[in-house]
Amino acid sequence: MSKMTPKEMAAKIGSGLLSFPVTPFKADHSFDEATYRANMDWLCGYDVAGLFAAGGTGEFFSLTAAEVPEVVRIAVEETKGRVPVLAGTGYGTAIAREIAVGAEKAGADGLLLLPPYLMHAEQEGLAAHVEAICNAVKIGVIVYNRDNAILQPDTLARLCERCPNLVGYKDGIGDIELMTRVYTRMGDRLTYIGGLPTAETFALPYLDMGVTTYSSAVFNFVPEFATNFYAAVRKRDHAAIHAGLKDFILPLIAIRNRKKGYAVSIIKAGMKVIGRDSGPVRPPLTDLTDAEMAELTALVKALPAAAVSQAAE
């Protein structure tokens, strides 16, 4: 069980950069525990405010309901309290509750509630879904506003009144007007997380709206670049930000946008580039082609040495 209160967890993750470690798989697509342990230990050596086990980049959608708590348990064991570990949960309400309870028992410090499976629902139904998860656990819950789970400010306000452990709001749609209305309504009642892919492109304007942190997928394979970029955002160093976007983030996005699902696939490819091969993605996702791997390798090698110097250690 977590030793952090929901408010403590929210304050911690709001203080720095966040990331979603990949879930390594072997060639037969079974979970690769040894590689996962090594990756988690390595990432904890960098300045990160929280790690999300079995999140979107961690292929939550391809894991079974039994695998998620196991992945979380290993993450908690390997991080040894150095950083908060939050777990993904989702699908239908009953399955999401089951995963949430399992993740809490595994030691997760919080939950990221991903959109429910497939169906679009009215605000009343979405609220009932969120409340059911919050009521099932004592740890803090973050709602992920995207796709078919877009909570309006009034709905979010009512949930915050009824659910003390609802402590975070992650935006994944990029609707600046909605984000402004949510922040104006809720203020510091919630911790706000930038969750657009790729979050670095939106980091500076979102900071001005009160979103102090974001989830960096590239932290998985270029953690020094990611932490330096985050520091530049917090300092509002426009020159450093634009250089990072031009030299790395935007070219990476150009590769990512070629095929559906590459937002996850390209991060696993990056792990292979730096010598931390975490295996293939599980179907229905597909891996990068050899030509795209070569492009990504060249992109990483073109970064300043300090940005990747420890990556292959």
Q: Which two tokens stand for residue 122?
A: 């009215």
User: In the prediction, which pLDDT does 304 show?
Assistant: 85
User: In the prediction, which pLDDT does 305 show?
Assistant: 65
pLDDT tier at 310 (50, 70, 90 boundaries)? very low
Mean of the per-residue pLDDT values of the chain: 95
Catalytic residues, by residue number, are: 144, 170
Bind-site residues for pyruvate:
57
Q: What percent of the chain has pLDDT over 90?
A: 94
Q: Which residue type, as a one-letter code, is found at position 152? A: Q
d(CA 137, CA 70): 17
Over 70: is that where the pLDDT of 228 sits? Answer: yes
Mean pLDDT in residue range 39-63 = 97
User: In the prediction, which pLDDT does 307 show?
Assistant: 60
Over 50: is that where the pLDDT of 235 sits? Answer: yes
pLDDT tier at 259 (50, 70, 90 boundaries)? very high
**Entry pTM:** 0.95
d(CA 16, CA 33): 27
110-164: per-residue pLDDT in tens?
999 999 998 999 999 999 999 999 999 999 999 999 999 999 999 999 999 999 9
193-205: per-residue pLDDT in tens?
999 888 999 999 9
Q: Which residue type, as a one-letter code, is found at position 142? A: I
d(CA 182, CA 296): 37
d(CA 3, CA 261): 36
User: In the prediction, which pLDDT does 312 show?
Assistant: 42
Mean pLDDT in residue range 64-81 = 97
d(CA 148, CA 123): 11
Structural domains of the chain in order of their starting residue, each with its CATH number? 6-236 (3.20.20.70)
Q: Residue 284: is the preceding peptide bond cis (ω within 30°)?
A: yes
User: In the prediction, which pLDDT does 282 show?
Assistant: 98
Bind-site residues:
57
d(CA 287, CA 289): 7
Q: Which helix (H) or strand (E) holds 110?
A: strand 110-113
**CA torsion, points 200, 201, 207, 208, in degrees to nearest 10?**
170
Check: CB of residue 109 under 8 Å from CB of residue 138: no
User: In the prediction, which pLDDT does 14 show?
Assistant: 96
State whether residue 29 is helix, strand or coil. Answer: coil
Check: CB of residue 48 under 8 Å from CB of residue 83: yes
d(CA 246, CA 244): 6
- DSSP secondary structure, 33-98, as one string: HHHHHHHHHHHTTS--SEEEET-TTTTGGGS-TTHHHHHHHHHHHHHTTSS-EEEEE-SSHHHHHH
Over 60: is that where the pLDDT of 313 sits? Answer: no
86-109: per-residue pLDDT in tens?
999 999 999 999 999 999 999 999
User: In the prediction, which pLDDT does 64 show?
Assistant: 97
Check: CB of residue 69 under 8 Å from CB of residue 99: yes
